Amino acid sequence: MKKTLVAIILGSDSDLNIMSEAARVLEEFNIPYEITVSSAHRSPELTTKNIQRYQKAGVKVIIAGAGLAAHLAGSVAAHFPLPVIGVPLKSGALAGIDSLYSTVQMPPGIPVATVGIDNAKNAGLLAIQILATADRKLEKKLLEYKRTMADSVEKKGVKLEKLGWKNYLPEK
């Protein structure tokens, strides 16, 4: 079995739908990962235990996704010495602005690399990029991924030029 390199922690199972995008991209790049639920507020001891376990297991990056007063990524970063990526999730009356500020506004000394609201895919990609700093094969795969993306944009441009914007849009 391959060593787990990335751990994904969700503040609640209600975060899974969005956070599964991080898992999806890690699978696309064949990165061994673990995923669990552990809340900074509702299960603080479990959160600490998980982080200690991940550190012992050699996990290199932790992705933490939470909504509302989202302190999960910050509390993970308080215990974990390697990069922590925070995903602020859209939820509640403030629609993710609360999670964004709680995740991104860390005091000096405890950084959390924060992606956009609900952007779990970017969290996965950022974790892969961090791993790729010490892995040339992974770096090549990331270049390939960018090339594929560029090709797809180029194809859309060609199609739009050919069809014109009225035909490109779906019928109303």
Three-state SS at 134: coil
Q: Which residue is nearest to ligand RP5 (CB)?
A: 11
Among residues 47 and 91, whose Cβ is nearest to ligand RP5? 91
Q: How far is CA 154 from the centre of its chain?
A: 27
Q: Write each residue from 88 to 117 as x if it is in contact with ligand RP5 (CB under 6 A), else as -, in one continuous string.
A: -x-x--------------------------
Q: Is 86 helix (H, G, I), strand (E, B) or coil?
A: strand
CA 132 to the chain's CA centroid: 15
With respect to ligand RP5, which residue has the nearer C-beta, 102 or 122?
102
Q: How far is the CB of 50 from ligand RP5 (least distance, A)?
A: 15
Q: Would you give the binding string for ligand RP5 spanning residues 53-92, x where CB under 6 A is met?
A: -------------xxx--------------------x-x-
Q: Residue with structure tokens 């690399």?
A: 113
DSSP secondary structure of 64-132? EEEESS--HHHHHHHH-SS-EEEEEE--TTTTTHHHHHHHH-PPTTS--EE--TT-HHHHHHHHHHHHH
Q: How far is the CB of 69 from ligand RP5 (least distance, A)?
A: 8
Residues contributing to the site for ligand RP5 (CB under 6 A): 11-12, 14-15, 39, 66-68, 89, 91
